[in-house]
Amino acid sequence: MSWVKDLPKIAETIGADTVLRDGKIITVDEDDSIAQAMAIKYGRIAYVGTNDGVTPYIGNQTKVIDLKCGCVTPGLITSHEHFLRYGLNALFGIDLWYPKVKSIRDIIDAVAEKARETTKGEWIFGWGWDENLLKEKRYPNRWDLDEAAPKNPVYLGRVYQKVAANSLALKIAGVTRDTPDPEYGKVYKDEDGEPTGVFLTILPSANPFEEMMPKINTQRKEEAIVKACHDYNAEGMTTVVDAVVGAAEPDDLVAYQNTRMRGELTARIYALYGFVRTVKQAKETIQHVSTYGDDMFKVGGIKLSLDGGVVPKTGYFYDPYIGEPTNFGRTKWTKEDLTEAIRLFHDAGFQTCTHTIGDKAIDWVLDGIENAMKLNPRPDPRHQIIHIYYPTAEAIDRVKRLGVMANVQSTFIHFEGDTYTRFLGPRGACVKPLKTFIKKGIAVGNSHDYPSGPIPARIGLWAAITRETFEGNVICPEERLTVQEALKTYTIWNAKHLFMENKIGSLEPGKYADLVAWDTNLYDAPTEKIKDMRAEMTMLNGEIVYEAQGSQWKRKDQ
Ligand SMILES: [Zn+2]
């Protein structure tokens, strides 16, 4: 676009819309340079440099802001979230993520509080509990939840497809002591054979509540998207991948479009259509879905899921789990079907993004990608492996060779790292070998996978730098990143996952003015401070989309 090329000249001639000056602007450009000032015109960056250099861009109408904050960084990008679900849970459900909830008692209190404002008989739902982070180190059960809300069915989803429900919910779903374990699932029972209210639901078909839960209408989804945008903006994020959109409920896409058309979308959304679970579904999908959209809302990829997780011992490995010599984990696809689905989507022009944990599962996906690329050498497809916990050394070389994107969640290292080493032994520690990926030149993109992790990117930055677990162990210290590298996993490298590295991910002329003013100087701060740093102001397309209350990010005298 020639006007973007001419933007500096345009801004200098007629004046910039906004000038930021007198700050520490971490640009994340090629040289990782720190600038003092920036000029913005038409939502894009016209100039980055010094206070003197920005002066010619100041016209009569230019809003000039003297920065008074720790630093400015590019708006953060997170490449794997359940964004719409976050908004729904935040508005209408209960967020059960640590540190909001630290014990079963906290869960009971949170559910009881919700019950007080909910009509008798209506469902209460929540997401984000993790028994490893609870004081009691056990699952919440039906009896706990009966105490909190005896007159409402209660459904509390956990990371890794576990559910805790109360007695009324069990009654509605017809679950009794005679209910057998479904395929891809488990009904937990006590010593007397009574269901405890806890379920493992690897696939939705194993979830007895799947059909019972009230459907959420499009308008509520739109409200949820606006809420999610606000909360992600408040943590410095301006671009989000929503990882599962449209397949179960096509109006997800309508909700995004409506929000966008009303100008209420304050984060760029790159949506993955999914889940796609069978070859038949893959064939149907390419008949009625295509990539479309623009830099604000786009359907760009397809979500597939191959294996499970380490915590439920369903990640698929060459070697078994500790103490379970016949348990190698499991997959939801045969290798043949997965290979065929990847080929179909590759040929249809999609980026495939596959949930993959164990070393053997990773090899299957790489085989599938290599096969598709060999049969049809479509340039630069950027297929993605989501989670990519335990690649072998050869797999890491193949990831590089095939141009595969490594999509990681460094927050998991903190919250689940102790469980990995317990269930896998010493090999569990080197989960997500971030430094090795980077040394090989692989584009590492970071994210939180809410509700599998809490959303603040500052925790992810800190966890990538420290690899410190919940119990205070540092696992596989040689894979720790520098602060500069950690920031790139949330900016320029993540932009590659979305094919947007020429538009976002660094603060350079011609790119969108997506940026954050933080209260802390990320590059100078003691590492411990990073996980508590605060976004003072977040800007998207040169417009302020979030400002902290009582914020100090600019000088008062303006
Ligand atoms: Zn996910």
| Contact status, residue 255 vs residue 223, Cβ threshold 8 Å | no
Ligand 1 geometric centre to CA of 525 (Å)? 31
Q: Are residues 345 and 428 in the same domain?
A: yes
pLDDT (0 to 100) of residue 421: 94
- Bridge-partner residues for 63, per DSSP? 18
Q: Would you state the pLDDT for residue 53?
A: 97
**pLDDT in the model for residue 3:** 81
CA of 558 to the centre of ligand 1 (A): 44
Coil/strand/helix, residue 440 = coil
Are 391 and 362 within 8 A, CB to CB? yes
Q: Is 251 contained in some domain?
A: no
Q: Is the domain of 369 the same as that of 476?
A: yes
Distances (CA, A) of 260 to 232, 263, 479, 554: 16, 5, 39, 29
For ligand 1, a single-atom ion, the residues with CB < 5 A are: 243, 449
- pLDDT tens, 189-238? 999 999 999 998 877 888 888 888 888 999 999 999 999 999 999 999 99
For residues 420 and 541, state if they share a domain.
no
Q: Based on the fold, state whether residues 97 and 141 are members of the same structural domain.
A: yes
- Whole-number Å distance, alpha carbon 310 to ligand 1 midpoint, is 14
Ligand 1 centroid to residue 184 C-alpha, Å: 18
Q: Examine the fold and report which residue of 153, 172, 206 is the final residue of a domain before the chain moves on.
A: 206
Whole-angstrom distance, CA of residue 505 vs CA of residue 493: 7
Averaged pLDDT for residues 140-159: 93
- What is the Å distance from ligand 1's center to 425 Cα? 25
37 lies in the same domain as 142:
no
Average pLDDT over the chain, rounded to an integer: 95
- What's the 449 CA to ligand 1 centre distance in angstroms? 5
Same domain, 456 and 532: no
Do 51 and 99 reside in the same domain of the chain? no
C-alpha 106/C-alpha 108 separation (Å) is 5
Q: Are 111 and 126 in contact (CB under 8 A)?
A: yes
* Alpha carbons 397 and 510: distance in angstroms, whole number: 34
Burial of 213 (0-12, 13-18, 19+ CB in 10 A): middle
Q: How many domains does the chain have?
A: 3
Using only C-alpha atoms, the chain has a radius of gyration, in whole angstroms, of 24
Give the dihedral of Cα atoms 359, 364, 369, 374; nearest 10 deg.
120
* Separation of alpha carbons 367 and 538, rounded Å: 41
Q: What are phi and psi of 492, to 5 degrees?
A: -65, -35
For residue 387, which phi and psi values (nearest 5 degrees)?
85, -55
In a shared domain, residues 93 and 54:
no
Report pLDDT digits (tens) over 368-399.
999 999 999 999 999 999 999 999 999 999 99
Q: What is the structure's pLDDT at 160?
A: 67
Beta bridge partners of 352: 302
pLDDT of residue 100: 87
Say if residues 316 and 357 touch (Cβ distance below 8 Å). Answer: yes
Q: 150 with 140: CB under 8 angstroms?
A: no
Q: What is the CATH number of the domain that holds 324?
A: 3.20.20.140
**What is the percent of the chain with per-residue pLDDT over 90, rounded to a whole number?**
89
Tell me which DSSP letter residue 470 carries. T
265 CA distance to ligand 1 middle (Å) = 21
Query: Do 30 and 167 share a domain, yes or no?
Result: no
Query: Is there a contact between 310 and 428 (Cβ–Cβ < 8 Å)?
Result: yes
Query: Are residues 378 and 327 part of one domain?
Result: yes
Question: Ligand 1 centre and the CA of 364: distance in Å?
Answer: 19
- At 1, the pLDDT band (50, 70, 90 cuts) reads low
Residue 553 inside a domain? The answer is no
Provide the domain limits for residue 43.
2-67+509-547
For residue 303, how far is its CA from the centre of ligand 1 (angstroms)?
9
CA 256 to chain centre: 17
pLDDT of residue 132: 85
Q: Tokens 């861009």 appear where?
A: 57
**Of 177, 206, 235, which residue is a domain's last?**
206
* Cα(172) to centroid(ligand 1), Å: 28
| 8 A C-beta contact, residue 309 and residue 317 | no
Distance (angstroms) between ligand 1 centre and the Cα of 82 equals 6
CA of 243 to the centre of ligand 1 (A): 6
For residues 54 and 155, membership in a common domain is answered with no
Give pLDDT, residue 311. Answer: 87
**443 and 518 both lie in a single domain:** no
* Percent of residues in the chain assigned helix, strand, coil, to nearest 5: 35, 25, 40
- Confidence (pLDDT) at 534: 97
Q: Pairing state of beta strands 297-305 and 37-41? A: unpaired
Q: 313 C-alpha vs ligand 1 centroid, how far in Å?
A: 17
Distance in Å, CA 2 to ligand 1 centroid? 39
Q: Is the pLDDT of residue 536 over 70?
A: yes
